[in-house]
A and B are shown apart, each in its own frame.
Chain A
Amino acid sequence: MRRFIVMLGIGLALSATTGAQAYHRFWANCNDDAPTFMTTMTRDAAQDYANAARYEGYQWGGGCWNYDDADSYPNDPPEVTSTHGEGGDCSGLTFKTWRESTDTWRDGRYYWRALRNVHGPYTAASFRAGNGAPNHTVAKSTAGVMDAFASNTHIGMVFMRSLYGGDQIVEAKCEACGTNIFYRTYRSDSSYGGVGRWGWTG
C-alpha cells in the first residue's frame, strides 16, 4: 500500500509537469463554429464588437475570448501560441472585428462570435501591406473610425480621432497591457501605415 501511495504521488507529479497539459487552458472553452455570413457591416457595429473585447486579455496567435471583463490567463510568456490563453492578438482582433474570411481571396463579411477560436491568415505586416481581398492601404490622414494603422509588428483600429490630434485606438496590445482602448500616435508615426477594410455599409 505504501508503494502504491508513493507511486500515485509520482504519477500525479509527472502528469502536472507535462508541458502540453500545463498550457491546454482557455482554448478548451472555445469552439470552431462556422461564421455567419452578413450582408451588412457598419463601422459602429465593429466598434461595438471590438469594445466588448476590452479587458479580455491578449494571446499571441489567439482569437477567442468571453465577455467577463477579465483576462482568465494573464501574463503568459510573450510570443508563445501554445499558452492557449484568453484574448486575441492584434491581428486576430482586427480579423474578427473586420469580419473577414480565413480564405484570403474572399471579401465577404463573416461574423465570428467571441468564443470562436480563429486568428485568421494575416499578420500585422500583411495587413500593413494591404494583403487579402478585403483589405487595402489608405492614406493615414484619411483614416476614420475602424480603419487601422499597422506596422511590421502591430496593428490597432481607430476607435475615434481626438482633440489633440492623436487617436483613440482599440487594440490587443501586449500580454501585460491586454486589449483596451488606448490613446496612440500611430497616425503620425512613420513606422505605421494606414489600412482599411473594403465593404463598410454605414
Chain B
Amino acid sequence: MRRPGIRSLVGGAAGLTAGVIGGVALTSVSAAGPTPVSRAPALIDAAHVPRVLTLPGEPVRLRYAIVCTPRDDGLPCDGSGTVYIRAGRSGPYRALPLSRGDDSKEGRYFVDVPAPLANSADGFSYYAVLRDDHSGASISVPAGGADAPQVSVPLRDARSVSLGRHVFGAVRNPDANVAEASWGSGPQDLGLAGSRGLGFSGPSSFDVEPNGAVDVLDSVNGRVSRWAHGRREVIPLGAPAELADLAVDSDGSFDVLDAAGTLRSYDSQGKPKWAQKVADRTWVKLEHGRSGPVVLQQPSEQWMPAAENGAPLSRAEQARAAHAEKQLANGHEVLLERVGDTGLRLAEVRGGTPLRGWQITSETSLGEVQLAESQGNRIVVVARAYTDDRDEFEVLVLGSGGLAARFAVVSDSWTETAPLARFRLVRNALYRLRTTPAATFVDRFDLEVPQ
C-alpha cells in the first residue's frame, strides 16, 4: 500500500473541514425554514348555540361569538351582524341587527327575538350573517344560510321528566360482553397509543350491524376489527385514524371520519371508495342516515349529509342540505337541546311537525347527550351525569307517558375515544364501548321490548 503524501493528507483534511463547515451552513439555512409570517391573514369564524326547542311564552335571545384575526392592540374584533328570521319555515326573512354587549362569556353579540316570532305556532327559522368590520370578512351561520336555516320548534304539551339527584354507584351490569380484545398490534389485539404524560388513546369508535356483527375502529393499528358469526376479521385501512369516528352500513361497508374532518368511505372489505372534507370546521358525530353518512357539524350545529346515493357531496352541497333534526330509525326525527346545566329538551318530529316532547330536569349536572335513538315507539337517550369528580351515564327510555325506564352505567373510559362514540342502539339492545388498562370491551344491555 502506497503511503499518502503530505499534499494528499492536507487535501483530505481540507476537504473534511470544508465538508463539515458546508454541511453546518446548509443545515442552518434549512433550519431557518419558511419565511416567518407574523401577521395573520384576514379570517373570521363564529360560534352560536341555536335555540331549537322553545317553551310557550319563553323569551328567546340568540347569542353569537364573532371570531376574527387577532389585533395588535389585543382588543376583540369590531364585529357586527344581522339575523334573518321568519315565522315557520317559509316566506321572506326579516332582518334584525345584532347588538354588541359588554360581556363575551356566552357570546358578545345578541338579538332578542320579537315575541310574535318567538311564540309563532310554527316556530321560527333563522340564520345570521356576521362581519368583521375591520377586514370586511363575513360568515354565515349556519353555513347554508337562507337555503338551510336553523329551526326552532315550540315544545308544547311536553312530558315533564324529573330525574332528581343522580345516585352514583347504583349502576347496572351488562347482560353480555359481545367483544373483547387486549392491547397490542397482533391480529386479535386492539392498538394502544400514548403515555402517562400524554394520556392514552385506543379504539376511538365502534358500530353494530343489524345482524349483530360488532365493528371496532382500531384507530392506532389503522384497521377495523369485526366480530361476526363467532369469527374475528381484520380490515386494514392503510393508516392510523386516531380519535376518528366510525359508522357501518347494513351491507358491511363503512365510513371513517378522521380528526381533521376528512370522511373516507370503504366497501365491506376495506377498499377505499371516496374521500371528502366535511363542510364545517368541527365535527361532532358521524351516523348513517337514510341515504348515506350524515355528520353533525359546528358552528352550524346541524346534521349535514356527506353523500347521496353513494356519491360524495361537495362542502357547499353538504351545507345546503343541512338540517337540525337527527333522523331516527323509526322514520321520524328528533330535535334535542341541552338547556342550562341540568335541563334537556327533546321533541320527536315528522316533516317538521312536533309529535310529542319531553322536558327533562335533573338535580345533578348533565353533560353531553351520547345517544338519542328510537326503539319502536320509544326514544332512548344516553346522557352523562357529572359532578366535579364523578361521572356516570344515565340511560333514559322515554315514552308517550313520560319516563318508561331508566338505569345508570359506569363511564369506564380509560382511553380517549371520539366524543360521541361510546354507545350504539340496535333494535332492542344498547351497546357500550369500554376500555380499561387491560383491554377493550363492547358490552350489551338488553332493553325491555316495547308493546
**A52 contacts B70, CB within 8 Å?**
yes
**A40 contacts B105, CB within 8 Å?**
no
Q: Is A153 an interface residue (CB 8 A)?
A: yes
Interface residues of B in 1-31 (CB under 8 A from A): 4, 8-9, 11-24, 26-28, 30-31
Q: What interface size band does chain A fall in?
A: 35 or more
Q: Is A38 an interface residue (CB 8 A)?
A: yes
**B104 contacts A11, CB within 8 Å?**
no
> With A and B bound together, what is the CA distance between A159 and B281 in angstroms?
13
> With A and B bound together, what is the CA distance between A184 and B40 in angstroms?
26
Q: What interface size band does chain B fall in?
A: 35 or more
Given A38-B74, A51-B67, does the pair A194, B388 have CB atoms closer than 8 Å? yes
Given A79-B198, A164-B284, A176-B240, does the pair A145, B106 have CB atoms closer than 8 Å? yes
**B105 contacts A162, CB within 8 Å?**
no
> With A and B bound together, what is the CA distance between A47 and B105 in angstroms?
11
> With A and B bound together, what is the CA distance between A151 and B322 in angstroms?
35
Q: Is A92 an interface residue (CB 8 A)?
A: no
Interface residues of A in 140-168 (CB under 8 A from B): 140-142, 144-145, 151, 153-154, 159-166, 168
> With A and B bound together, what is the CA distance between A150 and B296 in angstroms?
25
> With A and B bound together, what is the CA distance between A161 and B107 in angstroms?
10
Q: Is A26 an interface residue (CB 8 A)?
A: yes
Given A3-B4, A16-B27, A177-B243, does the pair A183, B104 have CB atoms closer than 8 Å? no
> With A and B bound together, what is the CA distance between A19 and B98 in angstroms?
55
CB < 8 Å: which of B38, B66, B284, B296 contacts A113? Answer: B38
**A44 contacts B11, CB within 8 Å?**
no
Given A66-B37, A66-B38, A153-B198, does the pair A15, B386 have CB atoms closer than 8 Å? no
**A115 contacts B38, CB within 8 Å?**
yes
Separation in Å of the B431 CB from the closest CB of chain A?
A: 18
Separation in Å of the A143 CB from the closest CB of chain B?
A: 10
Given A8-B22, A163-B49, does the pair A153, B199 have CB atoms closer than 8 Å? yes
**A140 contacts B386, CB within 8 Å?**
yes
Separation in Å of the B100 CB from the closest CB of chain A?
A: 10
> With A and B bound together, what is the CA distance between A8 and B21 in angstroms?
10
Q: Is B325 an interface residue (CB 8 A)?
A: no
> With A and B bound together, what is the CA distance between A91 and B54 in angstroms?
39
CB-nearest residue of chain A relative to B199?
Answer: A153
CB < 8 Å: which of A28, A48, A154 contacts B76? Answer: A48
> With A and B bound together, what is the CA distance between A185 and B284 in angstroms?
10
CB < 8 Å: which of B8, B71, B105, B369 contacts A43? Answer: B105
> With A and B bound together, what is the CA distance between A68 and B39 in angstroms?
9
Taking CB atoms, residues of chain B closer than 8 Å to A185 are 367-368, 384, 419-420
CB-nearest residue of chain A relative to B201?
Answer: A174
Taking CB atoms, residues of chain B closer than 8 Å to A164 are 284-285, 296, 336, 338, 368-369, 420
Taking CB atoms, residues of chain B closer than 8 Å to A151 are 199
CB < 8 Å: which of A6, A18, A73, A160 contacts B49? Answer: A160
CB < 8 Å: which of A4, A12, A72, A139 contacts B388? Answer: A139
Interface residues of B in 75-126 (CB under 8 A from A): 75-77, 102-108
> With A and B bound together, what is the CA distance between A181 and B259 in angstroms?
10
Q: Is A67 an interface residue (CB 8 A)?
A: yes
Taking CB atoms, residues of chain B closer than 8 Å to A189 are 386, 391, 411, 413
**B52 contacts A163, CB within 8 Å?**
yes
**A21 contacts B38, CB within 8 Å?**
no
What 1/0 flags go to B28-72 for Cβ under 8 Å of A?
Answer: 101111101111110101011110100000000000011111110
CB < 8 Å: which of B13, B31, B68, B366 contacts A24? Answer: B31
**A168 contacts B298, CB within 8 Å?**
yes
**A11 contacts B283, CB within 8 Å?**
no
CB-nearest residue of chain A relative to B35?
Answer: A29
Separation in Å of the B15 CB from the closest CB of chain A?
A: 3
**B341 contacts A162, CB within 8 Å?**
no
Taking CB atoms, residues of chain A closer than 8 Å to B43 are 51-52
**A42 contacts B366, CB within 8 Å?**
no
Q: Is B186 an interface residue (CB 8 A)?
A: no
Q: Is A104 an interface residue (CB 8 A)?
A: no
> With A and B bound together, what is the CA distance between A1 and B14 in angstroms?
10
Taking CB atoms, residues of chain A closer than 8 Å to B383 are 165
What 1/0 flags go to B369-411 for Cβ under 8 Å of A?
Answer: 1000000000000011110111100000000000000000001
Given A183-B284, A185-B368, does the pair A68, B34 have CB atoms closer than 8 Å? yes
Given A161-B49, A193-B388, does the pair A166, B284 have CB atoms closer than 8 Å? yes
Q: Is B196 an interface residue (CB 8 A)?
A: yes
Separation in Å of the A2 CB from the closest CB of chain B?
A: 8
CB < 8 Å: which of B11, B20, B65, B419 contacts A47? Answer: B65
Given A115-B38, A165-B368, does the pair A15, B27 have CB atoms closer than 8 Å? yes
Q: Is A41 an interface residue (CB 8 A)?
A: yes
Taking CB atoms, residues of chain B closer than 8 Å to A38 are 74
Residues of B within 8 A of A (CB): 4, 8-9, 11-24, 26-28, 30-34, 36-41, 43, 45, 47-50, 52, 65-71, 74-77, 102-108, 195-199, 240, 242-243, 259-260, 281-285, 296, 298-299, 301, 336-338, 341, 344, 365-369, 383-386, 388-391, 411, 413, 419-420
- Besides A52-B69, A182-B243, A188-B367, 19 more A-B contacts (Cβ < 8 Å) are A10-B15, A44-B104, A45-B70, A47-B76, A68-B37, A111-B74, A140-B365, A160-B49, A160-B107, A162-B301, A164-B338, A165-B338, A166-B420, A168-B282, A173-B259, A174-B242, A180-B282, A182-B282, A189-B391
14 A-B contacts (beta carbon < 8 Å): A11-B21, A16-B23, A48-B69, A78-B195, A144-B106, A159-B47, A160-B49, A162-B338, A163-B50, A166-B368, A177-B259, A181-B298, A182-B282, A183-B282
